[in-house]
């Protein structure tokens, strides 16, 4: 396949990949600045209380501060709408009894669901190809449950993309194989959001982030549909990495490897 032709035919798709990474990078930086501003405003309010009734700012300064606060709150909400993945009750521990037993039940059901859906579509996948580490603590179990929901969402969108492509073109390859679906170990994510200097905001106090990785074989149309489905209100899968390898021969599927991230905002 000619590289130039591929770029021209899939320009919108490739731009989408770039936008996904840029949105995440900008979002992380802006979120940090917004929460830092929130902390600064809280400190300022404390200083005002400590200072008593003596006015520290004139009315114009107070009006400007209120306007800035409103702008930051609006930006925070926009970023939530753009990046947030809101977990559902099925993948949370509250009211579920023993944490390790519930994780086992949910993981077993999810893996079987993926294997069944793949079998119905003649998509190659093995039990060992759907994997996650076995956690020990309750907090780690919560993280894996979040990761399992990301895997669930990813595979649903993969199968939906396959079905849509095959419905439009009966001879299309669609999704050929799920070579790897994995919840990334949490130990590789501990540095996320850690403040570099004293006084900076620790994003881990504001966000919950989990990663999943995937390795699939599919045709271009299926990959494009998958990528376009990543952004959904309250269910966004942020594209952190996306690598597409062209097939060696015309008519064979592409190989795609990637990493996706789910971002859940903590409530105050």
Cβ atoms < 10 Å from Cβ of 254: 19
Cβ neighbours, 10 Å, residue 205: 10
* Rounded CA separation 230/225 (Å): 9
Domain that holds residue 214: 3-265
Q: How many domains does the chain have?
A: 1
Indicate the pairing of strand 175-183 with strand 130-131.
Answer: parallel
The phi and psi torsions of 88 (rounded to 5 degrees) equal: -100, 165
pLDDT in tens, the chain (268 residues): 444 454 455 545 454 554 455 445 545 554 555 455 555 555 555 555 555 555 556 777 777 777 777 777 777 677 777 788 999 999 999 989 899 999 999 999 999 999 999 999 999 999 999 999 989 899 999 999 999 999 999 999 999 999 999 999 999 999 999 999 999 997 544 444 555 565 555 666 778 899 999 999 999 999 999 999 999 989 999 999 999 998 888 889 999 999 999 999 877 6
**Those residues with Cβ within 8 angstroms of residue 248's Cβ, 6 or more apart along the chain or in another chain:** none
- Residues contacting residue 95 through CB under 8 Å, at least 6 positions apart: none
| Sheet arrangement for strand 238-245 | 130-131, 175-183, 207-218, 254-265, 238-245
């Amino acid at each position: 396949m000619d590289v130039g032709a591929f770029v021209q035919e899939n320009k919108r798709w490739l731009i989408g990949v770039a936008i996904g990474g840029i949105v995440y990078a900008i979002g992380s930086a802006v979120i940090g600045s917004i929460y830092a501003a929130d902390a600064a405003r809280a400190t300022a309010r404390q200083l005002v209380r400590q200072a008593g009734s003596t006015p520290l700012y004139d009315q114009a300064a107070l009006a400007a501060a209120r306007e800035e606060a409103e702008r930051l709150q609006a930006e925070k909400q926009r970023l939530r709408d753009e990046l947030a993945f809101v977990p559902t009750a099925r993948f949370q521990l509250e009211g579920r009894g023993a944490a390790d037993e519930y994780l086992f039940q949910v993981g077993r059901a999810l893996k079987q669901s993926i294997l069944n859906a793949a079998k119905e579509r003649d998509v190659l996948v093995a039990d060992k190809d759907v994997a996650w580490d076995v956690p020990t603590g309750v907090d780690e179990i919560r993280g894996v449950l979040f990761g399992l929901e990301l895997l669930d969402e990813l595979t649903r969108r993969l199968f939906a993309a396959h079905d849509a492509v095959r419905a439009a073109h009966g001879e299309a390859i669609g999704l050929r194989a799920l070579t790897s679906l994995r919840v990334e170990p949490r130990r590789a994510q501990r540095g996320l959001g850690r403040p570099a200097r004293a006084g900076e905001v620790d994003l881990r106090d504001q966000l919950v982030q989990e990663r999943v990785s995937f390795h699939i074989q599919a045709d271009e149309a299926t990959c494009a549909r998958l990528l376009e489905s990543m952004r959904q209100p309250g269910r966004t899968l942020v594209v952190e990495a996306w690598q597409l390898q062209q097939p060696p021969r015309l008519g064979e599927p592409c190989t795609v490897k990637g990493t996706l991230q789910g971002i859940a905002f903590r409530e105050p």
